[in-house]
Chain A
Amino acid sequence: MKALILSALKKRRHGPALSAPRVLLATYILLAVAAPLIAPQNPYDPLQIYGWEASSPPGAAGGGGYLYLLGTDGLGRDIVSTILYGLRISLVVSITSSAAAALIGLTAGVSAAYFGKWVDVAIMRLVDLQLSLPTILVALIAIVTLGPGIDRIILALIIAQWATYARIARGVALSEVGKPYMDAARLMRLPTRRIIFRHLLPNSIAPAITLIPIEIGHAVALEATLSFLGLGVPIDKPSLGSAVANGFQYLLTGQYWISLFPGLALFGLIASINLVGEDVRRKLDPRNHAQ
Chain B
Amino acid sequence: MTLGNRLRARLISASLLAIFLWCAPMAPALALEEEELRIATAYKLMTLDPHYANLNENTSLLSHIFERLVYQDENLALKPGLATSWRPLSDTRWEFKLQDNVRFHDGSAFDADDVVYSIERIRDFLKSPSGGFRSYVSGIKSVFVPDPLTIVIETDSAVPNLPLFFSSIFVMNRPSDGFETTEDLNAGQAPNGTGPYRFESWRSGEELELVRNADYWGGKPAWQRVSFRVIENPAARVAALSTGEIDVADAIPARDVASLKERGVRIASVGAARINFVQFDVDRETLPGVTDKSGQPISNPFKDPLVRRALALSIDRGILVDKILAGFGTAASQVFPNGLPGTSAKLLPEVPDYEQGKALLAKAGYPDGFSLVLAGPAGRYPGDAESLQAIAQSWARIGVKAQPSASPFSVFNTKRAAGDYGIWYGGSSGEAVDIILHSLLASPDPERGTGALNFGKYRNETFDRLLASAEGIAVGPERNAALAEATELAMADQPIIPLYHFHHIVGYGPRVGSYVMHPRGWTTAMQTLVAAE
Q: List 6 A-B contacts (CB under 8 A).
A: A46-B395, A46-B396, A47-B393, A55-B323, A236-B403, A252-B238
Check: A65 CB closer than 8 A to any chain B CB: no
Contact with B along A165-207 (1 / 0, CB 8 A): 0000000000000000000000000000000000000000000
Q: Are the CB atoms of B393 and A51 closer together than 8 Å?
A: yes
CB neighbors of A among B350-404 (8 A)? 378, 385-386, 388-390, 392-397, 402-404
Check: A286 CB closer than 8 A to any chain B CB: no
Q: Are the CB atoms of B235 and A74 closer together than 8 Å?
A: no
Task: State in angstroms the CA–CA spacing of A253 and B319 once bound together.
Answer: 19
Please give me the 6 A-B residue pairs with the lowest Cβ-Cβ distance, nearest first: A46-B396, A51-B319, A46-B393, A54-B323, A47-B396, A253-B255
Task: State in angstroms the CA–CA spacing of A230 and B407 once bound together.
Answer: 9
Given A75-B389, A249-B235, verify A235-B404 contact (CB < 8 Å): yes
B129 → chain A closest CB, angstroms: 25
With a CB–CB cut-off of 8 A, which chain B residues contact A138? Answer: none
Which one, A45, A236, A249, contacts B255 given CB within 8 A?
A249
A37 → chain B closest CB, angstroms: 22
Given A46-B392, A75-B390, A236-B404, verify A252-B256 contact (CB < 8 Å): yes
Q: Are the CB atoms of B258 and A253 closer together than 8 Å?
A: yes
A76, A253, A254 pick with most chain B CB within 10 angstroms: A253
With a CB–CB cut-off of 8 A, which chain B residues contact A234? Answer: 403-405
Task: State in angstroms the CA–CA spacing of A234 and B258 once bound together.
Answer: 30
Task: State in angstroms the CA–CA spacing of A234 and B392 once bound together.
Answer: 13
Q: Are the CB atoms of B393 and A75 closer together than 8 Å?
A: yes
Check: A52 CB closer than 8 A to any chain B CB: yes
Given A47-B397, A75-B389, verify A254-B259 contact (CB < 8 Å): yes
Check: A250 CB closer than 8 A to any chain B CB: yes
With a CB–CB cut-off of 8 A, which chain B residues contact A49? Answer: 393
With a CB–CB cut-off of 8 A, which chain A residues contact B318? Answer: 52
With a CB–CB cut-off of 8 A, which chain B residues contact A74? Answer: 255, 323-324, 386
Q: Are the CB atoms of A51 and B255 closer together than 8 Å?
A: no
A269 → chain B closest CB, angstroms: 25
Q: Are the CB atoms of A249 and B253 closer together than 8 Å?
A: yes
B295 → chain A closest CB, angstroms: 15
In the complex, residue of chain A having the shortest beta-carbon distance to the beta carbon of B253: A249
A52, A234, A252 pick with most chain B CB within 10 angstroms: A252
Contact with B along A33-77 (1 / 0, CB 8 A): 000000000000111010110110000000000000000001110
Interface residues of B (CB under 8 A from A): 234-235, 238, 253, 255-256, 258-259, 316, 318-319, 323-324, 378, 385-386, 388-390, 392-397, 402-406
Q: Are the CB atoms of A235 and B323 closer together than 8 Å?
A: no
With a CB–CB cut-off of 8 A, which chain B residues contact A75? Answer: 324, 386, 389-390, 393
Given A75-B393, A234-B404, A235-B406, verify A250-B388 contact (CB < 8 Å): no
SS class, residues of chain A in contact with chain B: loop
Q: Are the CB atoms of A252 and B397 closer together than 8 Å?
A: no
B394 → chain A closest CB, angstroms: 8
Contact with B along A140-151 (1 / 0, CB 8 A): 000000001000
Given A51-B390, A51-B393, A75-B386, verify A250-B255 contact (CB < 8 Å): yes
Task: State in angstroms the CA–CA spacing of A47 and B400 once bound together.
Answer: 11
A69 → chain B closest CB, angstroms: 21
With a CB–CB cut-off of 8 A, which chain A residues contact B324? Answer: 54, 74-75
B234, B238, B255, B397 pick with most chain A CB within 10 angstroms: B255
With a CB–CB cut-off of 8 A, which chain B residues contact A46? Answer: 389, 392-393, 395-396, 402
Contact with B along A92-124 (1 / 0, CB 8 A): 000000000000000000000000000000000
Q: Are the CB atoms of B323 and A252 closer together than 8 Å?
A: no
With a CB–CB cut-off of 8 A, which chain B residues contact A51? Answer: 316, 319, 323, 390, 393-394
With a CB–CB cut-off of 8 A, which chain A residues contact B390? Answer: 51, 75
With a CB–CB cut-off of 8 A, which chain A residues contact B392? Answer: 46, 236
With a CB–CB cut-off of 8 A, which chain A residues contact B388? Answer: 235
CB neighbors of B among A220-274 (8 A)? 230, 234-236, 249-250, 252-254
In the complex, residue of chain A having the shortest beta-carbon distance to the beta carbon of B376: A235
With a CB–CB cut-off of 8 A, which chain A residues contact B403? Answer: 234, 236
Other A-B pairs, 15, CB within 8 Å; known A234-B404, A249-B253? A45-B396, A51-B393, A51-B394, A52-B323, A54-B324, A75-B389, A75-B393, A76-B323, A234-B405, A235-B405, A236-B404, A249-B235, A252-B256, A253-B256, A253-B258
A153 → chain B closest CB, angstroms: 16
In the complex, residue of chain B having the shortest beta-carbon distance to the beta carbon of A52: B319
With a CB–CB cut-off of 8 A, which chain A residues contact B394? Answer: 51
With a CB–CB cut-off of 8 A, which chain B residues contact A253? Answer: 255-256, 258-259
Q: Are the CB atoms of B389 and A235 closer together than 8 Å?
A: yes
With a CB–CB cut-off of 8 A, which chain A residues contact B405? Answer: 148, 234-235
Task: State in angstroms the CA–CA spacing of A74 and B256 once bound together.
Answer: 13
Task: State in angstroms the CA–CA spacing of A172 and B386 once bound together.
Answer: 51
A55 → chain B closest CB, angstroms: 7
